[in-house]
Structure 1
């Protein structure tokens, strides 16, 4: 049993989803408590999402390193908040994404933050799964800065220095309502919508296997219909689009420019609700080099990795701050069989400690 197993089980049992603000607060206080006394705790809140930044007393300026962890999870049935151990695997919602990493990072912070020759921080947020604007984004808007950032999302102790951008968009169409028995008297808005989605998927087909390309996920299709025997007069769809920095259709574009592009391809009305840029950290930068070496020192490859999912690193990247993802092993995040590999937690801890103690690269000036 690792030193974190029992406390991790307690943290998993907190259903800290976006629709449960009290549980978000409980999860945050749980982990702040794990850091112990003797640290300054700056508290933030935005749109009902609490967050915190912990650092040694007196470290009021730019922090040399920040360890970033999110404590919110995606919704799940109640049984997934009952942790279950099977050998070296601990199952439960948030076990891998990313409550295990949060506890290990907090343990590392507690152990070494007071002894380092530079100031470091522990950033705890509760909104990453819904975009991060009210956690990491809000703290950066309030002036928080760092020289280098390690985000504890899952990576199997590889170093993720590049992530795709994210676009959340809506397609909408209208038609003419009619009795379903006489469809020729109406115009089915849902059929127009699915045809437009088809055109979009022709432009961005679903890959047969992992590929560093733009993908479009149709997350929801809806009509206002309340009965079977109606031709729908309106229909809408939610799209989750992930894109690499090499895609000129999205990279460097504004929301309105992307919306115009989606309208052109689909032939439908399009609105972009959220647009986050890709993230990239210089593989030759001192932080990346030191972290890869620390991973190798505990028996892992330290390989660089691209990540298809967006994370809070994009908020740092937008300010010219290198941020990477570096987390423990496991699998099944956001699914019914999510688990963390408990055998990776001690090496993960040791790699972080080794990185922080060895990190000697010079800090660049920041915005």
Structure 2
């Protein structure tokens, strides 16, 4: 199959979160590829459009949903000028995950059945206005295939995610007379150090909880003034079996993180999403594995450190797996899709839907 012309067209659209018109354009591009003869339900939440496509009269439950996000992270203008070099198609979104989304749309169009194609435009900024919004409107499935990059392997487990702020209020003063002031940065920094002592920065891949100190800031702008406020912003990812976080509420996690903090430092936790886990022995997973083997690829199980929209299905007891094309460099300056994986991905996905 030759999907390169269509891929170049979609990859040329700079569908980033700050460009709502381009999000709409990317969505319409894929809907045009699917073509007529299907029911198209459109959704919108906080300015982020999405669609659900299926055959027949309006309904909400499907045996299989193919999920694809069409938004991308920001990039330099040249990354929206796709270039094909040998077996590599370079562009922002090539691996993550516009090309896989096109394959899902094509397979959906050709294997007509009781399935749905779910197209969203906000996964890179949290997925709450796309996949989660549709689920809140009653959309459900027995099984979901999310076309994120996997090199034709199957991801049945990924980490949970939340953000935490460590905040302190001190007392401003002249930096030459520090005994008359209270530097808010210092207790925040000591608290961060204690959190990192419990969850050190990994030096190699490890399936454990990680804490990224994204930024530490203060409203103070003068070097000769003691800061009166400070906040550290943390991004925390945790696997399903970490009992420090898994199964806990935002308030419970805030209380736990508070134990690492100096007096006067307060903790806020938000955007808590649990880990994603699917049954690796389910009938649907076995069918995909066999379809991948039939293409000469190894369908071994993967675990992903990053979060994806599968977590919203997991929260509702619905198995979702990540299954996509090969490539490298997602979110980087040299992102590419391995075009040799496009056809076997198409064939495996087609065989899976036909077997279901």
TM-score by length of 2: 0.96
Per the alignment, do residues 174 and 58 of structure 1 end up closer, same or farther by CA in structure 2, a change over 3 Å counting? same
Tell me which residue corresponds to 2:242: 247
- SS of the equivalent of 2:109 reads helix
* Pairing partner for 1:194 from 171, 189, 194: 189
Q: Distance in 1 between matches of 2:240 and 2:142?
A: 23
Asked if 1:290 corresponds to 2:295, the answer is no
Q: Distance in 2 between matches of 1:270 and 1:167?
A: 13
Per the alignment, do residues 356 and 234 of structure 1 end up closer, same or farther by CA in structure 2, a change over 3 Å counting? same
Count of residues in correspondence between the two structures: 354
Alpha-carbon deviation of 1:218? Answer: 1.1
Alpha-carbon deviation of 1:230? Answer: 2.8
Tell me which residue corresponds to 1:344: 341
- SS of the equivalent of 2:18 reads coil
Q: Deviations over 1:241-290 (max 9, x none)?
A: 11011111110101111111111123331111210011111111111111
Asked if 1:238 corresponds to 2:233, the answer is yes
Q: Distance in 2 between matches of 1:351 and 1:75?
A: 31
Tell me which residue corresponds to 2:318: 321
**Further displaced range: 6-15 or 298-307:** 6-15
**Further displaced range: 152-161 or 67-76:** 67-76
RMSD over aligned CA atoms reads 1.5
Tell me which residue corresponds to 1:224: 219
| Correspondences of 1:256-267 after superposition (within 5 Å) | 256-267=251-262
- SS of the equivalent of 2:16 reads coil
Q: Deviations over 1:15-50 (max 9, x none)?
A: 211122111111111111111111100011111111
Q: Deviations over 1:296-340 (max 9, x none)?
A: 111111101111111111111111111100000011111122111
- SS of the equivalent of 2:259 reads helix
Q: Distance in 2 between matches of 1:90 and 1:351?
A: 21
Tell me which residue corresponds to 1:35: 34
Per the alignment, do residues 94 and 183 of structure 1 end up closer, same or farther by CA in structure 2, a change over 3 Å counting? farther
Per the alignment, do residues 10 and 188 of structure 1 end up closer, same or farther by CA in structure 2, a change over 3 Å counting? farther
Q: Distance in 1 between matches of 2:174 and 2:331?
A: 40
* Pairing partner for 2:163 from 158, 162, 168: 168
List alignment gaps of at least 5 residues for structure 1: 360-367
Q: Distance in 2 between matches of 1:88 and 1:261?
A: 49
Alpha-carbon deviation of 1:61? Answer: 4.3
Tell me which residue corresponds to 1:104: 103
TM-score by length of 1: 0.93
Q: Distance in 2 between matches of 1:13 and 1:229?
A: 49
Alpha-carbon deviation of 1:59? Answer: 5.8
